[in-house]
Structure 1
Amino acid sequence: MNKTLYLVDGSSYLFRAFFSPGLNRLTSQDGHPTGVMYGVTNMLKRMLDEYDPEYMVVVFDAKGKTFRHDMYAEYKANRPPMPDDLRMQLQPTKDLIKAMGIPMLEIPHVEADDVIGTLVKKAESLGIETLVSTSDKDLAQLVSDHVTLVNTMSDVVLDVAGVKEKFGVEPEQIIDYLALIGDSSDNIPGVNKVGPKTAVKWLHEYGTVDNIIAHAEEFKGKVGEYLREGIEQLKLSRELVVIKKDCDVDYQPGDFALQEKDIGRLNDIGQQYDMKRFAELKAEDVKQQVSEPRIEYTCIQDMETLEQWLSAIKHAGLVAFDLETDSLNPIGARLVGMSFSHSAGAAAYVPLAHETEEPQLPLDDVLQAVIPVMQSVDVVGQHFKYDLNVLSGYGQQITSQKFDTMLESYVLNAAASRHDMDSLAALYLDKKTTKYEDICGKGAKQIPFAQVSLADATHYAAEDADITLQLHHELWSRLSTAEQKKVFTDLEMPLVQVLAGMEQTGVLLDSEELARQSEQLAIRMADLEEQAHELAGKSFNLGSPKQLQTILFEEQGLPVLKKTATGQASTSEDVLQDLSGEYELPAVILEYRSLSKLKSTYTDKLPLEVNAKTGRVHTSYHQAVAITGRLSSANPNLQNIPIRTKEGRQVRKAFVAPEGWVLMAADYSQIELRIMAHLSGDENLLAAFNNDVDVHSQTASQVFETPLEEVSSEQRRAAKAINFGLMYGMSAFGLSKQLHISRKEASKYMKQYFAQYPKVAGFIESVKQQAAEQGYLDTLFGRRLFFPEINNRNARVRSGAERAAINAPMQGSAADIIKQAMLAVHEQIAGADDIRMIMQVHDELVFEVRREQAADWSEKIKSLMEQVVQLDVPLVVDYGVGDNWDEAH
């Protein structure tokens, strides 16, 4: 029987799905959670697609205690009860698996690991290979020449060599390794203070736990004491982690043959829980569900066929439109082809510049025929801003785009998934799409799209249009009835055209200025390197964490404040920051790192970003990244240009205006604090802004018990850190670190702050409570911000989500306001030839303005931005004008 048995750790799948940020908010219309049902069946479908197994079984943990509880009463004592949302999905998930035709096993009083271990042993005795799908490290002890583990979520495959690479020991040593380090989730004790690094070291030296125990007296120091004290505990731990291979499982692998799907049952479950991919199954779909044959799309190679398709598109009134090019950079990219779809399964590709002898239509003829039709119907795109930028290079524009599936998904739930087409197709349509690498290859062997055969190019490109249209129908059916629909229709979609125009315009860069800065940075870095070598008493590589660990913590004896995941002393920035208060070398290293990053990321790299055709830098703005709605940018990343150091601010000098023009920067002042005042309704905070009192000085006056007129600049800086820190959910510990004060003093400052602004404290607590209860918060303008980890049982993860939730209403509302300002400004300057909007960074808009009109436009833009929304406090915009961005800022 020359077959492979596929064993699925069902319990592992359940928890992976339950804690997946993209799944744990999915529910049916009546509120029944469905994320686990989706997640588990998605993972199983992926197993079926990738391995096409003949024999497969999903193994679940049974209810109740097991033999391990008899051995150790505290086994798994730390585990909280199963969450209700997971328990509610257990039986429906199992019903789905059964209806999918996949065998299941659940043996009373036996854990899934032991059932899997027993089946592995039986398969080996029959000469059958086994592949186990799990994320459980305990199962690594089963790996052999005939047993492999695979984690379908991360695509990590563990064979014998893989186990050794991942854990540092052989598979047969995994039991002893696990016994030494213990397992907090199962409450297996292990040896006190022994982590993975120590366990690997001991097993390399002694081979086994038995040998370690035999030589226990030879272990020195505190860890040796812990070992000797915990020998009996270590023996118990080893017994607990051993996976049994002799359970009473009366099955042969041949019993696990996959069965036909029960289409009727899948349909019933799908309708009951509003799971569309199952609810729409019909008996005649059985063959398609099993084999999913490749759809044959149309390749358009003559004008008559093109005209027929364009006529059908006009009749439909809605079309998904997509371009294929020769570059990821849209500015200057060359068109290779285009595709469109007007109904599900009906899609076509028009090849334009493939390197083939087959007939292709002339580009100009196609553009003249296609663009007017696109302008006459509603266009659907996926990240269509890219396509708009490509078309601009051919003097073409499309202003009829009404939908973008990337943005529909983003507005619906920014945290649910990545928003690329492949991820969305898998999540919302349960479809596996053709990847670019599938037809072009990977790495050094990848070929340009223009060299792909027309048959493969047609399927790939037309499928993109087809899937995009199907995604739109699915996403719009969800979004059109959602409260956040207005954010999509009134904000995100109109902004696409605005951002496209900004990207096409770009910004002028002074490369000579950057070269000068690079030279100065190199000189300063050399000085710092020499200074560091003198302080260390030897030469070393400042960029090597390993060498730095040795010098700081072993040779100079500095305190170890934090360790890495592998147990090494951390040399991270926050650690060096803490150490630099008392030690000179960490301060020198920090400055060197800062300058090195500035040089490599900006002064050296920015000139390479200049487009040869336009002579300008064209950043790409990303709408669908930050969950708060903020824009981000790349190539170059304008959001991260440092402004807190003198050297960082110098980089802005290289962003310059063309001759006869100036740069004008308009920046919202303290916008998030103003939104906090509006949302909290705190009288003192409202009064400060409405009476034009400096809010940082007012806070300093209260916290430091100093008359307002006597507040020092140092006290104001500290108050500024308090104002913004508490708005970002900072704890007393965090505030003490930032201000370099004791935690007791930081707690005192926080108490005095909340005494001054009592409604702010109430607002923060209500935000945390609302986020925990709902899993989301709304901005002032209806953008829904989801926090999938807000109720995570891991305290560190949960605290991070709470901090994000505290600030999110302010940051999200500020993002919405700057976007509304961009739309208003765009409308105001449309058609003007003396001003253009070129950058958006945080709360700031940057313009190129003709020098003689700068004063007039500055006042107009300031007034427009300040009036774009009405809050209980005034919005204030500061502006500046100069020959470069630094001067304007």
Structure 2
Amino acid sequence: MQRPTAPRLFLIDGYALIYRAFFALMTRPLVTSHGENTSATWGIATFLKRLLVTHKPELLGWVHDSGATFRDDLYPEYKATREKLTDELQADFDRGLERINQLLAAYSIPVLAVPGFEADDVIGTLARKGVDAGYNVVIVSGDKDFQQLVRPGVWLLNPGRGGPASVEEQWVGVENANDRLGVPPDRVIDYLALVGDSSDNVPGVKGIGEKGAQELIAQFGALEDILAHVHEITKKRPREALLAQEAEARLSKQLVTIHQDVPVALDPSTLQMSAPDTQALRHLYLELEFTSLLKDLGGSAPSDAAAPPPAIVPRPAELSLDTDAADSAPTYSNRPAALAMTMSASGVPVLADARYVTVDTVPALEALLDRVRDVPFIAFDTETVPEPGAPATIDAMRATMVGLSIAVAPGEAYYLPFAHRHEDGGGNLALLSGDAGIAGRRLNAGVEPPVNLPAFASDAIAPLRAMLEDASVKKLAQNAKYDVLVLRGAGVRLAGLEFDTMLASYVIDPGRRSHGLDLLALEFLGHTMTAYEQLCGKGRNQLPFDVVPVDAARDYSCEDVDITMRLRAKLEPMLGSHGMSDLFRNVEVPLVEVLADMEWDGIAIDLTWFESLKTRFKSERERVEQLIYTEAGQEFNINSNPQLRVILFDKLGLPVKKKTATGPSTDASVLQELAEEGHTLPTLLMEYREIFKLEGTYIDALPKLVHPRDHRLHTSFNQTVAATGRLSSTDPNLQNIPNRRELGREIRRGFVPRPGWRLLSADYSQIELRLLAHLSGDPAFVSAFRAGGDIHRQTAAIIFGVDLADVNGEMRARAKTINFATIYGQGAHALSRQLKLPHAEAKAFIDTYFERFAGVKAFLDRCVVEAKAKGYAETLFHRRRYIPELKERNHNMRAFGERVAANAPIQGSAADLIKIAMIQVHQALASEGLASRMLLQVHDELIFELPAGEQAALSALVKREMESAAALDVPLLVEMGVGDDWVAAKS
């Protein structure tokens, strides 16, 4: 099909695209770390980027509806069947609309609307005027109504969508205009008048379908001609339908006809495309946490700095850093001016005030080391490639160092190449396509073989290794743990780490979605860094870093350490002004070495045991599958949600608990609720899903992740993910192996010590309840813990007003449930479900609990009040969690914020406490010279590996250090066990 040529006028059906973007992510909305729903804005931002890059329109207008129209007067039920949004969703949608208007303003795209007319009519009129003025018009919409406007000079473009489930865009012109509806454009309104339109509640003629409408139009033509010859229609059903519904047919034609005489002028000067305001886009994308779009904005330049900030509606409680108030997450409301840039000879953009130097001789290295001794601290960064045979992922445990960069001052940095190469196994990389980024283009130009320093392990480099191991040389990095592990692999134990910009960002605002260097540079320095993909390309054309020309590698790597150095100057004062320096320096930074040691040591698994589990799990899954088929009365694809809906809600008639855009929900919460009501199939489905997940996540995956060097698993502990302050575990995640069911425990049995050693488990007993007692100061709660024994039994005695000896099992179970429900802010509804009690009885139970423990209630209420006043909750160790949801209009989000405010001091203090304990235990193990090693942290539990003869010493050390991690009004208690596998040690 012939595509439109310039000059082209693109007219976008705005609301249709916004609604589609909003509802596309209805079940899993995109939400910022501060609680803003960005689904619609993200959809429109990515759509605009795709449209502008792909089609480069000369003129563009964004068209919106504007209130009630003549169609509503003609037919009050017009569009009445459209799904109504709840108050909360409407608030999300309205906020998204505000953001989209800011986005359009940044792109200088005009929003066109005419009161009393739909966007369709405005588009129809502008399309007619555009053709008359000599433009080729492109209507961007997926709405079938616009088929009626296709003619020479007018095209339709259904934009499709990107992402993993991408759909290609579709063009409609005069050549294929009949394909979608089976009628030509000048008969579309007659077709729609007959078949109706359920999305707009256009009635049509009941009894006439798509095929019937096509046949009538082919035989008689327009609706009026069909009605005039209605008695000639030979088929009884359409003839009688038209005789009975003539008025509906004529009304429907009026409703679907797009007017082309709206009072709106075509002003090409207003619609002319111009360069976007990149500074305004940068501000907006930072607010919305659109990381990938931020990276696409390109390098910073002085011209960007001159652009005024957009009229961004501030998120709740947002203040500039230059105020004295501390009621919002630290961020710049007025972004800094962009750093001046220039283009280096290597083709990599660099900071104009920077001096980046290659150090490729031993005398030059010696001079650099002398310079290092003259400065208060240095920033460093390693550049790596995966070791031979390793997956092409960023895994410090399987990385080979290519180079090292060192910054000694802002704007002064050095690059040390160690393993750059010119050829790849005999294939000259200079033959690669220029699509492989800056480095690929440099290779095409023909680059001399690289000059490297002597090998990192050589005697000539010993002074550098000594400097890295010298604690008196203070060091900073971004994500230092990665570099610590890379250097460990190269034979160096780094010392002197005192600052990590990623950790500083996390401590200042743990709710930030990303603490990556590129985002921090944008937010705090106004600088867009060179992305790895810009340097090395992407996809199959991506070059490994060791073939990047040294001068390009220098400019890229030195920028990293230079920006890290500059960021410290921004972040360090913020840590001090917010009272977080101690938390940062005494907890988070020392923890880097602890975690690096744990990751380096790893943990062993019994591969023979895991192989036997594969057979057992497969057999168990197949057993549950047969029970499911029997209960359902047929076989079906259990992993297919559409098929599952049919079985649960159509065939078995189970009650629908929640709806999604595609039908009744079958998620875990729905199955749980149905199971609690006594339905058998949902119970079996939950069991099946758990087995299926355990098989894929652990049984099949873990043996494949065993490291070929030492045959152990090496998880990665993440310090900057959870807003609570807790550590998380990835690649593999060893913190989520279930322990309550036998299947989960069977997996844990496969975690074993090295031959001749044993495992020790040390677990804080009821740490969150103990912290609640300490923080609340409730006399009854504190006394119960000081008395020792079973806290849940003690609580039950107080709640039910009975002697301790008279507490039965049911009383204890209920007391335990409400103890933990209190921590997580659960109300009567949740408690009634957990205890299977009527709502009123559950509420009475909560009321009694808070009457007996009035100090706990007062503390929880006080947490919410103080968080609303300050904008954040704070732990015992002064870690903050900002809670903008407390000021949201959306009731559900505000209620969520209140639960977070009550829980964050408890859960966050527990996270801090285990970190402090880990640091103390790590230091004590070194000072006492024990060979035992700390291997894993799983929430409030630490796992150790110990050789024969160290059990008594290790047990005493661990108990002493964990129980002295903080001085509380109630005793800290650690429960320990030793065994030949994880389960045996835990029990």
TM range (shorter): 0.7 to 0.9
Q: Which residue of 1 aligns with 2:32?
A: 21
Give me the whole-angstrom Cα distance separating, in 2, the residues matched to 1:657 and 1:844. Answer: 17
1:370 equivalent in alignment to 2:464: yes
Change (3 A) 1:45 1:637: same
Unaligned runs of 5+ in 2: 23-29, 173-179, 204-208, 215-221, 228-236, 238-244, 278-302, 312-318, 323-330, 387-393, 423-448
Q: Which residue of 2 aligns with 1:659?
A: 755
Q: Which residue of 2 aligns with 1:860?
A: 957
Does the Cα contact within 8 Å between 1:580 and 1:586 map onto a contact in 2?
no
Output aligned runs, 1:563-602, within 5 Å. Answer: 563-572=659-668, 574-576=670-672, 578-579=674-675, 581-602=677-698
Output aligned runs, 1:318-357, within 5 Å. Answer: 318-327=377-386, 328-356=394-422, 357=449
Q: Which residue of 1 aligns with 2:738?
A: 642
In structure 2, give the amino acid aligned to 1:294: P
From 431, 436, 443, the equivalent of 2:527 is: 431
1:605 equivalent in alignment to 2:701: yes
Q: Which residue of 2 aligns with 1:224?
A: none
Give me the whole-angstrom Cα distance separating, in 2, the residues matched to 1:739 and 1:69. Answer: 54
Q: Secondary structure at the match of 2:513?
A: coil
Give me the whole-angstrom Cα distance separating, in 2, the residues matched to 1:507 and 1:641. Answer: 15
Give me the whole-angstrom Cα distance separating, in 2, the residues matched to 1:137 and 1:804. Answer: 46
Give me the whole-angstrom Cα distance separating, in 2, the residues matched to 1:324 and 1:178. Answer: 63
Give me the whole-angstrom Cα distance separating, in 1, the residues matched to 2:789 and 2:778. Answer: 15
Q: Which residue of 1 aligns with 2:350?
A: 295
Normalising by structure 1, we get a TM-score of 0.77
In structure 1, give the amino acid aligned to 2:627: Q
Output aligned runs, 1:728-877, within 5 Å. Answer: 728-831=824-927, 832-877=929-974
Does the Cα contact within 8 Å between 1:10 and 1:58 map onto a contact in 2?
no
Q: Secondary structure at the match of 1:561?
A: coil
In structure 2, give the amino acid aligned to 1:840: Q
From 597, 605, 615, the equivalent of 1:509 is: 605
Does the Cα contact within 8 Å between 2:784 and 2:795 map onto a contact in 1?
no
Give me the whole-angstrom Cα distance separating, in 1, the residues matched to 2:396 and 2:872. Answer: 35
Deviation, structure 1 residue 815: 0.3
Unaligned runs of 5+ in 1: 26-34, 163-168, 183-189, 193-201, 219-227
Give me the whole-angstrom Cα distance separating, in 1, the residues matched to 2:253 and 2:906. Answer: 52
Give me the whole-angstrom Cα distance separating, in 2, the residues matched to 1:206 and 1:771. Answer: 63
Does the Cα contact within 8 Å between 1:298 and 1:348 map onto a contact in 2?
yes
Give me the whole-angstrom Cα distance separating, in 2, the residues matched to 1:317 and 1:498. Answer: 25
In structure 2, give the amino acid aligned to 1:624: T
Residue by residue, what CA displacement relative to the aligned partner does 1:730-756 show, whole Å, maximum 9, x if unpaired?
Answer: 122211222223222222222222222
Change (3 A) 1:107 1:483: farther
Change (3 A) 1:373 1:5: farther
Q: Secondary structure at the match of 2:749?
A: helix
Question: Larger C-alpha radius of gyration, 1 or 2?
Answer: 2
Give me the whole-angstrom Cα distance separating, in 2, the residues matched to 1:305 and 1:247. Answer: 74
Deviation, structure 1 residue 340: 2.9
Deviation, structure 1 residue 337: 2.0
In structure 2, give the amino acid aligned to 1:252: P
Q: Secondary structure at the match of 1:617?
A: coil
Give me the whole-angstrom Cα distance separating, in 2, the residues matched to 1:564 and 1:277. Answer: 37
Q: Which residue of 1 aligns with 2:295?
A: none
Give me the whole-angstrom Cα distance separating, in 1, the residues matched to 2:259 and 2:376. Answer: 62
Output aligned runs, 1:92-241, within 5 Å. Answer: 126-127=134-135, 145=155, 159-160=169-170
Deviation, structure 1 residue 434: 2.9
In structure 2, give the amino acid aligned to 1:507: I
Change (3 A) 1:155 1:662: closer
Q: Secondary structure at the match of 2:382?
A: strand
Give me the whole-angstrom Cα distance separating, in 1, the residues matched to 2:828 and 2:712. Answer: 46
Q: Which residue of 2 aligns with 1:252?
A: 268
Output aligned runs, 1:287-686, within 5 Å. Answer: 294-295=349-350, 297-327=356-386, 328-356=394-422, 357-364=449-456, 365=458, 367-374=461-468, 375=470, 377-572=473-668, 574-576=670-672, 578-579=674-675, 581-686=677-782
Q: Which residue of 2 aligns with 1:884?
A: 981
Does the Cα contact within 8 Å between 1:326 and 1:334 map onto a contact in 2?
yes
Give me the whole-angstrom Cα distance separating, in 2, the residues matched to 1:237 and 1:22. Answer: 47
1:2 equivalent in alignment to 2:61: no
Change (3 A) 1:285 1:586: closer
Deviation, structure 1 residue 249: 5.0
In structure 1, give the amino acid aligned to 2:135: G
Whichever structure has more helix as a proportion of its residues is 1
In structure 2, give the amino acid aligned to 1:545: N
Change (3 A) 1:424 1:131: farther
Give me the whole-angstrom Cα distance separating, in 2, the residues matched to 1:20 and 1:116. Answer: 32
Of the structure 1 ranges 146-155 and 447-456, higher mean CA displacement relative to structure 2 is found in: 146-155
Give me the whole-angstrom Cα distance separating, in 2, the residues matched to 1:69 and 1:428. Answer: 51
What is the Cα-based RMSD across aligned positions, in Å?
A: 5.4
Change (3 A) 1:572 1:141: farther
Identity %: 33
Q: Secondary structure at the match of 1:398?
A: coil
In structure 2, give the amino acid aligned to 1:338: L
Deviation, structure 1 residue 495: 0.7
Q: Secondary structure at the match of 2:419?
A: coil
Change (3 A) 1:714 1:453: farther
Give me the whole-angstrom Cα distance separating, in 1, the residues matched to 2:923 and 2:726. Answer: 21
Change (3 A) 1:803 1:453: same
Residue by residue, what CA displacement relative to the aligned partner does 1:334-371 show, whole Å, maximum 9, x if unpaired?
Answer: 11222233344544433322331322222225753433
In structure 1, give the amino acid aligned to 2:693: K
Change (3 A) 1:160 1:705: farther
Does the Cα contact within 8 Å between 1:106 and 1:112 map onto a contact in 2?
no
Give me the whole-angstrom Cα distance separating, in 2, the residues matched to 1:851 and 1:811. Answer: 36
Output aligned runs, 1:663-742, within 5 Å. Answer: 663-701=759-797, 703=799, 707-742=803-838
In structure 1, give the amino acid aligned to 2:402: V
Give me the whole-angstrom Cα distance separating, in 2, the residues matched to 1:237 and 1:476. Answer: 67
Residue by residue, what CA displacement relative to the aligned partner does 1:694-724 show, whole Å, maximum 9, x if unpaired?
Answer: 3322333455565432222233223212111
Deviation, structure 1 residue 110: 9.5
In structure 1, give the amino acid aligned to 2:417: P
Change (3 A) 1:160 1:700: farther
Number of residue pairs aligned between Structure 1 and Structure 2: 828
In structure 2, give the amino acid aligned to 1:776: Y
Does the Cα contact within 8 Å between 2:126 and 2:266 map onto a contact in 1?
no
Deviation, structure 1 residue 784: 0.7
Does the Cα contact within 8 Å between 1:577 and 1:587 map onto a contact in 2?
no
Does the Cα contact within 8 Å between 1:61 and 1:110 map onto a contact in 2?
no
Of the structure 1 ranges 557-566 and 642-651, higher mean CA displacement relative to structure 2 is found in: 557-566
Deviation, structure 1 residue 384: 1.2
Does the Cα contact within 8 Å between 1:322 and 1:387 map onto a contact in 2?
yes
Deviation, structure 1 residue 411: 0.8
Q: Which residue of 2 aligns with 1:31?
A: none
Q: Secondary structure at the match of 1:848?
A: strand
Deviation, structure 1 residue 505: 1.3
Does the Cα contact within 8 Å between 1:545 and 1:571 map onto a contact in 2?
no
Deviation, structure 1 residue 316: 4.0
Does the Cα contact within 8 Å between 2:332 and 2:523 map onto a contact in 1?
no
Change (3 A) 1:67 1:546: closer
In structure 2, give the amino acid aligned to 1:127: Y
